[in-house]
Structure 1
Amino acid sequence: MEILILLDSGALAALADGVYLLPVCSPSRTLLEVRDLSVSYATRGGTRVILEALNCEVHSGEVVGLQGRSGCGKTSAALAILGLLPYGAIARGEVLFRGNDLLKLKESELRKIRGREASIIYQEPALALSPVMRVGDQIAKVLRAHSALDWQGCQQQARQVLNQVKLGADRHYRAYPHELSGGECHRVVLAQALICRPALVIADEPTTGLDVSLKNEILDLIAILRRETGAAFLVISHDRAVTDRLADRTISLPFSNGNETGMSISVPAAAKQGFSPPQATPLIAVRNLSKCYQPRGLFQTRSASKQALHSVNLSIPRGSLTALVGPSASGKSTLARCMALLEEADAGEIVFEDKNLLCLPLQQLRAFRPRLQYVSQDPAAALNPRMSAAEVIAEPLVIQNRSSRSDRRRRAELLMEQTGLDPSFADRSCHEFSGGQKQRLVIARALVLEPSLLIFDESLSGLDPQTQEEILGLLLSLRRKLGITQLLISHDMELVSKVAERVLIMRAGNIVEEHEAAEICNMNARATEHFVDAQTRQSLALSEVK
Structure 2
Amino acid sequence: MTEPVLSIKNLTTSFLVDGEWKSVVRNISLDVMPGETVAIVGESGSGKSVTSLSVMGLLPKSSSRVTGSIRLNGQELVGMDEVALRRLRGGEMAMIFQEPMTSLNPVFPIGRQISEALTTHMNLTAAEARAETIRLLEKVRIPNAASRLSAFPHQFSGGMRQRVMIAMALACKPKLLIADEPTTALDVTIQGQILDLIKTLQEEEGMSVLFITHDMGVVAEVADRTVVMFRGDAVETGPTDQIFAEQKHPYTRALLAAVPRMGAMDGQAVPLRFGIVDKETGVAGAEIPLAAPVDTNTPVLQVRNLVTRFDITGGWLGQKTGAVHAVEDVSFDLFKGETLSLVGESGCGKSTIGRSIMRLTEAQSGEVLVGGKDARKMPRTELNSLRREIQMIFQDPFASLNPRMTIAEALAEPFIVHKLGSRSDAKEKAAALMQQVGLSPDMLRRYPHEFSGGQRQRISIARALVLEPKVIIADESVSALDVSVKAQVVNLLLDLQDRLGLSYLFISHDMAVVERVSHRVAVMYLGEIVEIGPRASLFANPQHPYTRKLMSAVPVPDPARRLIRRAISNDEIKSPIRPVGYQPPTREYREVAPGHLVRIDDQTAEVAA
TM > 0.5 fold call: yes
Q: Which residue pairs with 1:527 in the alignment? A: 542
Instruction: For 1:290, give the aligned amino acid.
Output: V
Partner of residue 20, structure 1: none
AA at the equivalent of 1:236: I
Q: 2: CA distance between counterparts of 1:367 and 1:329?
A: 30
Whether the aligned pair in 2 keeps the contact of 1:396 and 1:449 (CA below 8 Å) is no
Q: Residue 37 of structure 2 contacts residue 211 of structure 2 at CA under 8 Å; is this kept in 1?
A: yes
* Structure 2 residue 350 is the aligned partner of structure 1 residue 332: yes
Q: Name the SS of the counterpart of 2:506 in structure 1.
A: strand
Match of 2:170 in 1: 194
- Percent identical residues: 34
| 1:161-172 alignment, distance < 5 Å | 161-169=136-144
**What SS does the corresponding residue of 1:478 show, helix, strand or coil?**
helix
Give yes or no for contact 1:393–1:441 (8 Å, CA) kept in 2. Answer: no
Alpha-carbon separation, structure 2, partners of 1:138 and 1:409:
53
Superposition map of 1:503-518 within 5 A: 503-516=521-534
* CA drift at 1:79: 3.8
Partner of residue 93, structure 1? 67
For 1:348, the equivalent position in structure 2 comes to: 366
**Closer, same or farther: CA 536–112 of 1 in aligned 2, 3 Å:** same
Q: 1:320 aligns with which of 326, 332, 338?
A: 338
Unaligned runs of 5+ in 2: 234-249, 252-257, 259-272, 276-285, 566-609
Query: Shift in Å at residue 217 of structure 1?
Result: 1.6
1:173 deviates by 5.2
Q: Deviations over 1:419-471 (max 9, x none)?
A: 34567777888678665455445545555676554322333345555433322
Cα deviation for residue 311 of structure 1 reads: 0.6
Once the two structures are TM-superposed, the CA of residue 222 in structure 1 deviates from its matched residue by 0.3
What is the match of residue 36 of structure 1?
11
2 CA distance for matches of 1:54 and 1:364? 59
Corresponding residue to 1:467 among 479, 482, 485: 485
1:500 aligns with 2:524: no
Counterpart in the other structure of 1:261: none
CA spacing shift, 1:307–1:86, aligned 2, 3 Å: farther
Corresponding residue number in structure 1 for 2:160: 184
Aligned to 1:309: 327
In structure 2, the partner of 1:203 is: 179
1:55 aligns with 2:72: no
1:245 aligns with 2:221: yes
Seen in structure 2, the aligned counterparts of structure 1 residues 216 and 400 have a Cα distance that, compared at 3 Å, is: same
Match of 1:123 among 91, 98, 111: 98
Cα distance in 1 between the residues matched to 2:171 and 2:399: 25
TM-superposition CA deviations, 1:377-429 (whole Å, max 9, x none): 45677678xx59x7478558679986999999987776555434567777888
Aligned to 1:290: 307
Q: From the superposition, tell whether residues 123 and 394 of structure 1 become closer, same or farther in structure 2 (CA, over 3 Å).
A: farther
Tell me, yes or no, if structure 1 residue 457 matches structure 2 residue 457.
no
Residue pairs, 1:139-158, within 5 angstroms: 139=114, 158=133
Output the amino acid matched with 2:367. Answer: E
What is the alpha-carbon distance in structure 1 between the residues aligned to residue 92 and residue 444 of structure 2? 39
Q: TM-score, normalised by structure 2?
A: 0.65
Query: C-alpha separation between the residues in 2 aligned to 1:404 and 1:79?
Result: 50
2:198 corresponds to which residue? 222
CA shift for structure 1 position 53: 3.0
Question: Residues 164 and 418 (structure 1 numbering): CA distance in 2 closer, same or farther, change over 3 Å?
Answer: farther
Query: What amino acid is the match of 1:165?
Result: V
| Within-5 A mapping of 1:283-432 | 283-292=300-309, 298=315, 307-326=325-344, 329-360=347-378, 365=383, 368=386, 372-377=390-395, 387=403, 391=406, 394=409, 417-421=435-439
- Once the 2 structures are TM-superposed, how far is the Cα of residue 370 of structure 1 from its aligned partner? 7.6
Whole-angstrom CA distance in 2 between matches of 1:270 and 1:534: 27
8 A Cα contact 1:376 1:458, kept in partner: yes
Alpha-carbon shift at residue 293 of structure 1 (Å): 5.3
Check the 8 A contact 1:327/1:491 in 2, yes or no.
Answer: yes
Q: Tell me the distance in 2 between the aligned counterparts of 1:406 and 1:147.
A: 68
Q: CA deviation at 1:213?
A: 3.6
Q: Verify the 8 A CA contact 1:43 1:428 in the aligned structure 2.
A: no
**1:37·1:95 contact (CA, 8 Å) conserved in 2?**
no
Residues in 1 aligned to 2:166 and 2:58: alpha-carbon distance in whole angstroms: 18
CA contact (8 A) 1:39 1:76 kept: no
Q: For residue 496 of structure 1, report the CA deviation from its aligned partner.
A: 2.6
Taking a change above 3 Å as real, the CA distance of residues 545 and 330 of structure 1, as seen in their structure-2 partners, is: closer
- Pair 1:72 & 2:90 matched: no
User: How many angstroms apart in 2 are the aligned matches of 1:474 and 1:41?
Assistant: 37
State the distance in 1 between where 2:89 and 2:425 align: 46
Select between 169-178 and 221-230 the one with higher mean Cα deviation.
169-178
Q: Quick one: distance in 2 between partners of 1:76 and 1:409? A: 40
- Cα separation, 2, equivalents of 1:446 and 1:382: 11
1:295-321 CA-partner distances (Å, limit 9, x unpaired): 665599999965332211122234432
Instruction: Measure the CA separation in 2 of the matches of 1:400 and 1:129.
Output: 42
Q: 1:483–1:116: structure 2 CA closer, same or farther, 3 Å change rule?
A: farther
Q: State the SS of the aligned residue for 2:200.
A: helix
Is the 2:307–2:363 contact (alpha carbons within 8 Å) kept by the matching residues of 1? yes
The residue type paired with residue 239 of structure 1 is D
Q: Is the 8 A contact 2:11 2:25 kept in 1?
A: no
Equivalent pair of 1:341/1:369 in contact (CA under 8 Å) = no
SS in 2 for 1:253: strand
Check conservation: 2:429, 2:466, Cα contact below 8 A. yes
Aligned equivalents of 2:134, 2:114: Cα separation in 1: 9
Task: Render the CA deviation track for 1:204-233: whole Å, top value 9, x for unaligned.
Answer: 222325455433321110012223444432
Could you say what secondary structure the match of 1:193 adopts? helix
SS in structure 1 at match of 2:505: strand
Partner of 1:479: 497
Give secondary structure in 1 for the equivalent of 2:178: strand
Find the aligned partners of 1:414 and 1:236 in 2 and give their Cα distance: 39
Gap change, CA 1:247 and 1:398, over 3 Å in 2: same
Q: Aligned letter for 1:285? A: Q
The more displaced of 462-471 and 404-413 is 404-413
Please identify, of 247-256 and 297-306, the stretch whose mean Cα deviation from structure 2 is larger. Answer: 297-306
Task: Give me the whole-angstrom Cα distance separating, in 1, the residues matched to 2:117 and 2:422.
Answer: 47
1:69–1:238 Cα contact (<8 Å) kept: yes
Q: Which runs of 5+ in 1 are unaligned?
A: 1-25, 259-263
Task: Give, in angstroms, the shift of residue 474 of structure 1.
Answer: 0.8
Q: Is the 8 A contact 1:392 1:445 kept in 2?
A: no
Provide the rounded CA distance (Å) in 2 between the counterparts of 1:33 and 1:433: 32
Q: Residue 72 and residue 545 in structure 1: after superposition, are their counterparts in 2 closer, same or farther (change >3 A)?
A: same
Task: Tell whether the 8 Å contact from 1:165 to 1:187 is kept in structure 2 after alignment.
Answer: yes
**Residue pair 1:34, 1:56 contacting (<8 A) in 2 also:** yes
SS for the counterpart of 1:497 is helix
SS at match of 1:77: helix
